[in-house]
Amino acid sequence: MQGYVVFWDPPGPIRRKRLEDLAAENGLEKYVPRIPAKGNVVRRALSQAAKGLRKRNIHFEYVPKNGDDDMYLRVRFFLVDRNHEDVDMHKESILSFNTETYLSFVFPPGLVSDVVNSLVCKNIDNILGISSASDVTKVMKSATDALHLIPLRKRGSIYFCPAEKSLQLKPISDFTSGAGGDFVYISVEVPDDRVKDGMADFVEKTLEDIRGRAIKVSQQAALNHCLEDLDDLRTRRNVYEAVLGGLKATIDQEIEDVENIVQGRIAGEPPTAGETFSNDNDDDDDDDGDGNE
């Protein structure tokens, strides 16, 4: 099958403005991740600062809201001893963050508040002004997903793009290189069996993911998203239909089986014994308190 072998070296963090400009220049602006909601920016900054604060024996806890006031997020910071047992009530501060302006009011000022401000405020600035390497990669990944690439290796990293999608590879390449990464695509003739095997692996992994999500969630929006992913899989199957042969009927049946599970969940049916699924591969964030992701 004629097409392109595609692989890339993702870029690192860049300024948020630069990310938005590069995406707009290459028609990829719809793939730029949104900035978190303002209240979540503060919480994310606090989460990133937690490790750095603990190294200084500073811990924090959220203060319950006062009535219906959602504009302020109040946090109590306090010093503990090295065994994390005795709280020094003379060395604590209450910080009140305005979630609209990100300005904070500290009472009383002192050692704890100085350390907190230096870490948390730095992280807020980073979240608003710097896009992480993950954010940049999300743009690339979303853009390439729209081209219906399939992996040529079980562990990914090398992909096949159909020839009819080739004109859309250059904007992704220009975006990636502008962000400091490398995106390579090479015109090749890939054996049909290799493409077929890649599609089979992709379908298997994608259906496992969709089935697992359908079993674990019950929200209508999440289940609708499962149906959208199944429709995308059907579109991808059509793109590679010429090389699938008898595999097409198998893929159609597997998609239909998973769709029945999703529709059953939408109708309120509980998952059956044969639909149990577990996912132990969740990645934990390892924030180091410096605001870099």
The pLDDT score that the predictor gives to residue 285 is: 43
DSSP letter for 84, please. Answer: S
Strand order in the sheet with 104-107: 58-62, 72-80, 87-98, 104-107
Instruction: Tell me the per-residue pLDDT of 210-240, one tens digit each, with 9 for 90 and over.
Output: 999 998 888 889 999 999 999 999 999 999 9
Report CA torsion sign: 79, 82, 86, 90. negative
* Residue among 3, 7, 26, 4 nearest 179 (CA): 26
Determine the 3-state secondary structure of 69 from DSSP. coil
The pLDDT score that the predictor gives to residue 20 is: 93
Instruction: Tell me the per-residue pLDDT of 28-73, one tens digit each, with 9 for 90 and over.
Output: 999 998 877 666 777 888 888 887 887 877 877 877 776 656 677 7
DSSP letter for 175, please. Answer: H
Q: How many CA atoms lie within 13 A of 198 on its CB side?
A: 26
Low-confidence ranges of the chain (pLDDT < 70): 37-39, 66-70, 81-91, 99, 101-114, 156, 272-293
Q: Which residues of 153-178 are buried (b: 16+ CB within 10 A; e: fewer)?
A: eeeeeebbbbeebbeebebbbebbeb
Q: How far is CA 251 from CA 175, 193, 198, in A?
A: 34, 16, 13
End-to-end CA distance of the chain: 39
Determine the 3-state secondary structure of 61 from DSSP. strand
* Residue among 179, 170, 174 nearest 132 (CA): 179
187: number of Cβ within 10 Å: 11
The pLDDT score that the predictor gives to residue 87 is: 59
Q: How far is CA 82 from CA 58, 87, 91, in A?
A: 10, 10, 15
What is the rounded distance in angstroms from the CA atom of residue 109 to the CA atom of residue 107? Answer: 5
What is the rounded distance in angstroms from the CA atom of residue 263 to the CA atom of residue 223? Answer: 8
Contact 75, 46 (CB under 8 A): yes
